[in-house]
């Protein structure tokens, strides 16, 4: 589950050596100049590409239930999963070749922008016109995260993943620390925990860099409101140098200097992707972690004995519920952002390629499976919070309290900030990650502002 949520997580382990990588680039170059999209017309049916991980069981279900219909029999779908990390890289290298998928998994926003610009994507407006339920069955705010210009390009197909605080209930109780409702309270909690001997009150996987970015997403929202990033993305680079931006940066520095994430850059040695922060939270090394909703299953995997039996997982879930709590990010007094705003990964989407749409009339029916009650129930059962309008009535099972809490969090949020590294095109990811990581270490505010201004706006 972990690795599907952000492409930034892909870098954990890659096997290509440097020079081999160059060679691949070269081969890709010659392949793309060859004739494209020849295979499509010839073969019946269409391919559905998805990120390969433990959640594929539900994608398999979706494909199987579509293939069982009359439409599916004449125009069958085939699921193709790209296992392991580097999904976006693999997608990018085949998108303009003859092996491009017809329907593909993505993160919306910046992850499909380049494909859209290259004219490879089919706008879904035509499908919406012939089947209005395909639009009305999903939460509007989620659908718009895969909207480019006036056109929709993605149908939600997994779950929404807001970012919020996880905390160790036992540690907060023994140290007499209350849940922070405001930013000054968070600072006070950090000081109190440090005084009680908790050296690293907040676990942060700084070595991965993208967990660090979450702190910026929330503090920028709370201090400056959601418009700052929206405007910056639309091309107004001056926003980064505004007073509100500087205030948010100052708040971040205050937290870092208070030793909230440990002493002297210790966070640079810690990974989320190697399950280190989850272990820190679980063992009481740290009291808080700001992380996406998938952290729940990461912690659960630490607690169960590794067997996948239902009883063992249920026991781990019970243990987790008594040890780990979750709460919204604190508000910042005097800030412009609403305390109910959230940040995170809006959803995963299926997008359709132009060539695929032209050759396969069945795709519209396949996409309609994504809001069917059977599919939604399957997603909920593996812990994915779907974003269909019927979701709330279908939640049940051992994690229902957690899912309902999240659903309400998403539902009452006036704004949902898509992770910056997904909102911006992928070409900017590295610059952005380096900047957010370095501002925790050595950069000053004006250097950070300069780095953010060097990013290419998405529009």
Partner 1 sequence: MTTLAKRGRTKGSGGLKIGRPSFLWSLPAFVYFAIFALLPLGVVVWLSFTSWDAIGSPHWVGTSNWTAMFKNPELLQSFKITGILTILGIATQTPISMLLGVWASGYQKNRAILSALYFIPLLMSAIAISVVWASLLSPYFGLPHELHWLFGSALFNHGFLFSSSPAAIGVLTFVGMWQWTPFHTLIYQGGARAIPEVLYQAASIDGAGRVRQFWSITVPQLRNTMITSMVLMLAGGLTTFDTILVLTQGGPGTATTSTSYYMYLEGFKSFQFGPASVLSVMLIVVTTIVSLIAVRASGWDKMRSTQEGL
Which residues of the shown chain bind partner 1 in the complex (CB under 8 A)? 11, 13-19, 21-23, 25-30, 32-33, 86, 89, 92-93, 95-96, 114-115, 118, 120, 200, 207-209, 262-271, 274, 276, 279-280, 285, 426-431, 434, 437-438, 441-442
Find the shortest distance in angstroms from Cβ 167 to partner 1.
Answer: 17
Q: Which is nearer to partner 1, 393 or 459 (CB)?
A: 459
Find the shortest distance in angstroms from Cβ 299 to partner 1.
Answer: 15
CA dihedral 43→126→100→3, nearest 10 degrees, is -130
Q: Which is nearer to partner 1, 267 or 416 (CB)?
A: 267
* Residue among 104, 1, 108 at smallest CA distance from 56: 1
Q: Which is nearer to partner 1, 350 or 439 (CB)?
A: 439
Q: Which is nearer to partner 1, 144 or 444 (CB)?
A: 444
Find the shortest distance in angstroms from Cβ 161 to partner 1.
Answer: 22
Q: Which is nearer to partner 1, 269 or 390 (CB)?
A: 269
Q: Which is nearer to partner 1, 56 or 93 (CB)?
A: 93
- In DSSP terms, 291 is beta-bridged to 164
Q: Which is nearer to partner 1, 253 or 265 (CB)?
A: 265
- CA separation for the pair 116, 86 (Å, rounded): 20
Query: Which residues, 6+ apart, have CB-to-CB distance to 66 below 8 Å?
Result: 72, 77, 362, 365, 366, 369
Question: Are residues 62 and 155 in contact, defined by beta-carbon separation less than 8 angstroms?
Answer: no
Which residue is associated with the tokens 């706006």?
457
* Residue among 395, 387, 363 at smallest CA distance from 108: 387
Is residue 194 classed as helix, strand or coil in its secondary structure? helix
Find the shortest distance in angstroms from Cβ 376 to partner 1.
Answer: 33
Question: Are residues 337 and 413 in contact, defined by beta-carbon separation less than 8 angstroms?
Answer: no
Find the shortest distance in angstroms from Cβ 199 to partner 1.
Answer: 10
Find the shortest distance in angstroms from Cβ 72 to partner 1.
Answer: 30
Find the shortest distance in angstroms from Cβ 410 to partner 1.
Answer: 30
- CA separation for the pair 348, 136 (Å, rounded): 18
- CA separation for the pair 67, 75 (Å, rounded): 8
The percent of the chain in helix, strand and coil, each rounded to the nearest 5, is: 55, 15, 35
Q: Which is nearer to partner 1, 309 or 427 (CB)?
A: 427
Find the shortest distance in angstroms from Cβ 445 to partner 1.
Answer: 16
Which residue is associated with the tokens 């006070």?
188
- CA separation for the pair 237, 232 (Å, rounded): 5
CA 68 to chain centre: 31
Question: Are residues 366 and 221 in contact, defined by beta-carbon separation less than 8 angstroms?
Answer: no
């Amino acid at each position: 589950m972990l690795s599907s949520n952000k492409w930034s997580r892909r870098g954990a382990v890659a096997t290509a050596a440097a020079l081999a990588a160059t060679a691949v680039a070269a081969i890709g170059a010659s392949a793309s100049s060859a004739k494209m999209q020849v295979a499509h017309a010839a073969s019946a049916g269409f391919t559905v590409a998805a990120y390969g991980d433990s959640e594929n069981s539900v994608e398999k279900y979706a494909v199987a239930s579509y293939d069982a219909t009359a439409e599916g029999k004449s125009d069958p779908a085939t699921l193709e999963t790209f296992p392991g990390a580097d999904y976006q890289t693999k997608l990018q290298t085949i998108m303009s070749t003859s092996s491009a998928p017809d329907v593909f998994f993505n993160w919306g926003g910046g992850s499909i922008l380049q494909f859209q610009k290259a004219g490879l994507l089919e706008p879904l407006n035509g499908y919406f016109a012939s089947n209005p339920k395909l639009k009305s069955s999903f939460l509007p705010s989620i659908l718009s995260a895969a909207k480019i210009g006036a056109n929709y390009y993605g149908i939600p197909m997994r779950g929404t993943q807001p970012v919020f605080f996880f905390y160790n209930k036992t540690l907060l109780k023994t140290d007499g620390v209350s849940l922070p409702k405001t930013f000054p309270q968070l600072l006070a909690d950090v000081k109190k925990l440090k005084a009680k001997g908790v050296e690293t009150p907040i676990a942060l996987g700084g070595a991965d860099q993208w967990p660090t970015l979450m702190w910026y997403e929330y503090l920028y929202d709370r201090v400056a409101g959601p418009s700052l990033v929206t405007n910056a993305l639309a091309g107004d680079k001056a926003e980064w140098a505004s007073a509100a931006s500087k205030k948010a940066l100052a708040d971040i520095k205050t937290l870092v200097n208070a030793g909230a994430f440990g002493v002297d850059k210790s966070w640079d040695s810690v990974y989320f992707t190697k399950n280190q922060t989850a272990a820190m939270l679980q063992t009481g090394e740290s009291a808080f972690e700001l992380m996406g909703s998938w952290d729940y299953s990461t912690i659960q995997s630490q607690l169960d004995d590794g067997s996948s039996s239902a009883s063992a997982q249920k026991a781990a879930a019970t243990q987790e519920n008594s040890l780990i709590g979750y709460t919204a990010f604190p508000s910042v007094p005097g800030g412009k952002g609403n305390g109910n705003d959230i940040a995170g990964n809006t959803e995963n989407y299926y997008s359709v390629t132009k060539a695929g749409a032209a050759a396969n009339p069945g795709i519209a029916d396949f996409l309609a499976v994504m809001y069917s009650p059977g599919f939604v129930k399957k997603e909920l059962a593996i812990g994915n919070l779907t974003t269909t309008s019927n979701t709330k009535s279908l939640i049940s099972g051992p994690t229902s309290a957690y899912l309902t809490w999240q659903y309400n969090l998403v539902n009452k949020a006036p704004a949902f900030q898509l992770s910056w590294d997904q909102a911006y095109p992928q070409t900017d990811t590295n610059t952005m990650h380096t900047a957010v990581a370095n501002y925790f270490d050595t950069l000053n505010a004006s250097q950070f502002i300069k780095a953010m201004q060097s990013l290419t706006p998405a529009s």
